[in-house]
Amino acid sequence: MAIGRSPSVKDVAAAAGVSLGTVSNVMNRPEVVSPATRDRVERAMAELGFVRNESARQLRAGTSRTLAYVMLDGSNPFFHDVAQGIELAAEDADLALFICNSNARADREALHLDRLMQQRVQGVLITPVDPESAHLADVARRGIPIVLVDRVAPGEFCSVAVDDVLGGRIAVEHLVEQGHERVAVIGGPESLGQMRERLEGARQFWAEQGLPPEDLTFMPTAAMTVAEGRSAGERLAGIPARRRPTAAFCANDLLALGLLQQAIGAGLRIPDDLAIVGFDDIEFAAAAAVPLTSVRQPRQELGKAAAQLVLEEAAAATHRHRQLTFTPELVARASTRSH
Amino acid sequence: MAIGRSPSVKDVAAAAGVSLGTVSNVMNRPEVVSPATRDRVERAMAELGFVRNESARQLRAGTSRTLAYVMLDGSNPFFHDVAQGIELAAEDADLALFICNSNARADREALHLDRLMQQRVQGVLITPVDPESAHLADVARRGIPIVLVDRVAPGEFCSVAVDDVLGGRIAVEHLVEQGHERVAVIGGPESLGQMRERLEGARQFWAEQGLPPEDLTFMPTAAMTVAEGRSAGERLAGIPARRRPTAAFCANDLLALGLLQQAIGAGLRIPDDLAIVGFDDIEFAAAAAVPLTSVRQPRQELGKAAAQLVLEEAAAATHRHRQLTFTPELVARASTRSH
DNA sequence: CACGGCGCCTGAAACATTTCAAACACTCGA
DNA sequence: TCGAGTGTTTGAAATGTTTCAGGCGCCGTG
C-alpha cells in the first residue's frame, strides 16, 4: 500500500512471478495465457491497484486512442447536441473524446489544433472559424484526418452538414403556406456560406411562386445570438406597418428566441402579428413561451456521421474526401400556427 | 517532404547536425544553447515540420499536462458556463482540458474516470452523480486530486459551490417583499443535498417572518428539467384558486422555463397571476419571453476557483481539503416584477 | 526413442522524449 | 604555462508499454 509512484507492469510481473510480456498478454490477448497464470496476474493487478499508463501505450502504438472535437461556440446548445452524437460514436469505437471550444476565435482554434497534433489524436472534428484557414490545411497535411461539421469545403476536407438551401426553402414555404406575403430573412454575417445558402433557398422558393422579390426582406445581423435577434426585432418594429413583414425566418434558434422575446415585450401577438421560424431546433426552441417552429437539423446524427467519417479516413490507406449532406425537416409549432 | 511517420527529435538533430539533447534544450531551455545553434535547430524543425510527441513527453515526465472536467448534464447550459471558467484557468496554467459528460449516469461516469486515470491527468473536476460513490474515492486514493463542483462532501474532497441555504432564502425573501403570501418551492429529487438546502433556506426565512408554514408548499419533482417544470405547472394549476400559490421558486432555471411555458400557455399573466424565480441564472433565463428572475451563481468563477483548487492540491505535498463557498445573488427581472 | 507440433512463457528491442553528469573548447588570471 | 572557470554540447539512462522471435517442456506419433 506504499504509494510512491503508481505500479507498472514490471511491478505486477514481479508480484505475480511472471515476465513483463505475460502481463501484457493478460491485458491484450488473454486467450494465449493459461487460466492459472492469468488468474495470478489479475490478482496481482488488483492487489497493487495497477492502472495502465496510456502515454506509454500511445508512445509504443504511435497513435492515441483519442478523437477531438473543436466546437465553434460553447454557448450554443446546437453544438453540444452534435458533441453528444460524436461521443456516442467514439464510445462505440472505444475512443476517448477531447472536446475543445474555440469560441469563434481563430487564435484559440489554432492553439487547440496545435495541442491536438502534439497529442497525436486519431482525427479532428471541427466547426472552424474559417474553413479556408491555413492552419487547418497544415494539420491535414501532417496526415491527421479532419472532418468539417456544419461547414463545407469541397475537395479540401470531408464534411457533414445539412442541405442549407433546402432548409431555407422549406422554412419560407411553410410561411407562405400559412398565408404570409411579406417575410423577413434574418441572419448573418453574410460571409457565412451557410447563411448565403439558406437565404438562397428562401429566394428560390419565393421566385418560383412568382412573389414580388421586394416582399422578401433580408435583414443581416452581425452574429447569430439572442442579442442580435432582439435588435433585429427592434429594426423590424421600425418598419411602417403597411410594409412590415408578417413573418420572420431566422437563420438559427438563438436569433429566433431573441426576436420572440423582443416581439412579445413590444406587445405583439405570436403568431398573429408576427410568425417566427428558427433553424436548428435546439431544445430551448420547443421550451420557449411560444414554442418555436424550427427547421430541424439531425444534430446527433450529424455528430455520429462525422465521427464515422473521420474514423474511415483514419483507417483507409487511400481516401477521397466526401461531403455528407443530411436533409433538414420542418417542425411546426405555435410560433407559426394560429391554432 | 516524404512523410512516412512524423519526424522525431532524432530526425531534427540529424538535420541540424547536433545531438538529441541539444534539440531538447532548444525547446525547453533555449537560454543555454548558443544563438547560432538554436537558429540552425529551429530551421531544421520548421523544415521537417516537427511536432513534439506529447505521449513521450508525458511518459518521461510521469504526469500529463491535462485537467479533466466530468460534467453531470451536458444539456444544462449551467455546466458549460462552469466549463468555460475552468478552461480559462487551465489555459493560464498552460494545461489542456479534457471535457467529459456523464449524463447523470453512474456507469458512464465510472468509465470516464477510468480513462482519466489511465491518462494520468493532473486533476479531476467533477459534478458527480453521487458524491459518496466508491469509484470516486478510489480515484482519490490513487493520488489524483479531485475537486467537486456544485456539490459538497466535507472531509472527503475539496469542493466549490454556492451557499444554497442562502440562495433559497433570498429567493423567497424577494417574493415576500413583492407581497406574495403563498409560495411554492419546486424541485428535486429530495436526495439532492443541494435541493434540501435551498428548501431549508426558504423555510428558515418563512419561519423568521412568522408566516404560516402551510403557505409555503414544497412540490417535489423527479428531476430538474424543462419537462418536469411543465408538469409542475400542471399540478399547480390543479390547486383551487383560493389556496393556490401566487409565486413559485424553482430550484433551477430549466424548471422555471418549463413552468413559465406551461403557465403562459394556460393563459396566466406573469408575474400578476404567477411570479417565478429560478436558480442559476443561465443565459436563457434572461432570454425568455418574460425575462426570468433568478438566483445567480457565479458560474465562471465557480469553474475558475475549482481549477485553481485542483492545481493547488496537485502541487502541495501536504494538503487539507477545503470547501469554497460562493455567495449567490438575486437578479430581479420581469417574471417577478409588476412594472 | 526421436521428432514434430503445440501451448505457454520469456527477454529484448522499440517507441520519443527529458535529464544529467561528464566532456569539450575557450578564456582569463596567476 | 598551468589551472580554474565558463559556456556549450554530448551520450547514455530512464520512463511504461507492446510486440515478436525464440525457448522450454510436454504429448503423441512414427
Segment holding A60, helix H or strand E: helix A54-61
Q: What's the CATH fold of domain A1-46?
A: 434 Repressor (Amino-terminal Domain) (1.10.260)
CB-based contact A3 B142, cutoff 8 Å: yes
pLDDT at B317: 75
pLDDT attached to residue B55: 96
DSSP-based three-state secondary structure for B163: coil
Contact criterion met (CB < 8 Å) for A120 and B56: no
In contact, B41 and B22? CB cutoff 8 Å: yes
Answer yes or no: is pLDDT of B112 > 80.
yes
Q: What is the pLDDT of residue B146?
A: 96
Distance of CA B259 to CAs A28, A247, B42, B148, Å? 52, 27, 61, 29
- Give the residue from chain B lying closest to A269, CA to CA: B289
* CA dist., res. B200 & res. B202, Å (int): 5
Half-sphere exposure in the Cβ direction for A204 (13 Å, CA): 14
Distance B35 CA to C27 C1' (A): 19
Query: CA torsion A298→B285→B175→A290, rounded to 10°?
Result: -60
Mean pLDDT of B176-204: 96
Tell me: pLDDT of A337 over 90.
no
A258-271 pLDDT per residue, tens: 999 999 999 999 99
C-alpha neighbours within 13 Å on the C-beta side of residue B255: 26
Mean pLDDT of chain B: 94
Given a contact cutoff of 8 angstroms between Cβ atoms, the answer to whether B311 and B99 are in contact is: no
Query: Cell numbers of A56, please?
Result: 506509454
Give the span between the Cα atoms of A104 and A110, in whole angstroms.
11
Please state, for a pLDDT cut of 70, what percent of chain B lies above it.
98
Q: A53 and B64: CB-CB below 8 Å?
A: no
What letters, b where the CB count within 10 A reaches 16 and e where it falls short, cover A307-336? bbbbbebbeeeeeebeebebebebbebbbb
- Which of A55, A76, A290 should we substitute to test contact with B (largest number of B Cβ atoms within 10 Å)? A55
List the single residue in A54, A80, A84 with the smallest CB-CB distance to B118.
Answer: A54
Q: Which element (helix H / strand E) includes A115?
A: helix A106-118
Tell whether the model's pLDDT for residue B1 goes beyond 70.
no
pLDDT at B2 > cutoff 60: no
Mean pLDDT of all residues in chain A?
A: 94
- The model's pLDDT over B281-326, given as tens digits with 9 standing for 90+, comes to 999 999 999 999 999 999 999 999 999 999 999 988 788 999 999 9
Domain ranges of chain A: 1-46, 64-161+299-326, 164-298
Residues, chain B: 339
**Chain-centroid distance, C-alpha A333:** 24
Share of chain A above pLDDT 70, in %: 98
Q: Percent of chain B, pLDDT > 90?
A: 92
Sort out which chain A residues have CB atoms less than 8 A from B142's CB and list them: 3, 6, 49, 51
CA atoms of B337 and B339, how far apart (whole Å): 6
Indicate the burial class of A268 (C-beta count within 10 angstroms; 0-12, 13-18, 19 or more).
middle
- Rounded average pLDDT over A310-320: 88
Q: How far is CA B83 from each of CA A140, B89, B159, B305, rounded to the nearest angstrom?
A: 28, 10, 15, 11
B212-B214-B215-B220 Cα dihedral, nearest 10 degrees: 140
DSSP one-letter code for A213: G
- pLDDT at residue B155 in the model: 85
Chain B CB contacts of A74 under 8 Å are: 80, 83-84
Cβ-based contacts with strand C at under 7 Å:
A 17-22, 25, 32-34, 36-38, 56, 59-60, 62; B 5, 8-10, 20-21, 23-25, 27-28, 50-53, 56-57, 59-61
Rounded CA-CA distance B98/B105 in Å is: 18
The mean pLDDT of B259-263, rounded to a whole number, is 97
- Tally Cβ neighbours within 10 Å of residue B61: 12
User: pLDDT tens digits for B167-178?
Assistant: 999 999 999 999
Q: Which of A71, A84, A103 is nearest to B101 (CA)?
A: A84
- CATH 3.40.50.2300 for domain A64-161+299-326, yes or no, is yes
Q: Inspect the interface and report whether the beta carbons of A283 and B101 lie closer than 8 Å.
A: no
Q: Give Cα A129 to chain centroid, integer Å.
A: 13
Report the C-alpha gap between A123 and A145 in whole angstroms.
Answer: 5
CB B65 within 8 A of CB B95: yes
Chain-chain contact of B100 with A97 (C-beta, under 8 angstroms): yes
From the options 3.40.50.2300, 3.20.20.10, 3.40.50.150, 1.10.287.130, give the CATH code of B65-162+299-326.
3.40.50.2300
Neighbours of B65 (CB within 10 A): 17
Task: Check pLDDT > 80 for residue A1.
Answer: no
Alpha helix positions (H), chain B: 9-16, 20-28, 35-48, 54-61, 77-92, 106-118, 134-141, 164-177, 193-208, 226-237, 253-265, 283-286, 299-315
* pLDDT at residue B339 in the model: 57
The beta-carbon neighbor of A289 closest among B81, B96, B264 is: B264
pLDDT value at position A33? 94
Beta-carbon separation of A120 and B55 below 8 A: yes
| Residue among B62, B74, B284 whose CB faces A80 most closely | B74
Lookup: cell for A42: 489479475
Q: Residue A75 has what pLDDT?
A: 92
Q: Closest protein residue to D12 using CA and C1' atoms? A: B21
Test mutation, B84, B116, B261, B284, chain A, max A CBs within 10 A:
B284
Report the residue from A51, A59, A75 with minimal CB separation from B55.
A59
The gap between A34 CA and C7 C1' (Å) is: 9
Least confident of A46-50, A200-204, B286-290, B317-321: B317-321
Side-chain half-sphere CA neighbours of A278 within 13 A: 33
CA-wise closest residue to A1 among B255, B142, B1: B142
Q: What is the pLDDT of residues A9-31, one digit of tens each?
A: 999 999 999 999 999 999 999 99
End-to-end Cα, chain A, rounded Å: 70
* Topology agreement, domain A64-161+299-326 and domain A164-298: yes
Amino acid at A131: P
Domain B164-298 has CATH 3.90.1480.20: no
CATH topology of domain B9-52: 434 Repressor (Amino-terminal Domain) (1.10.260)
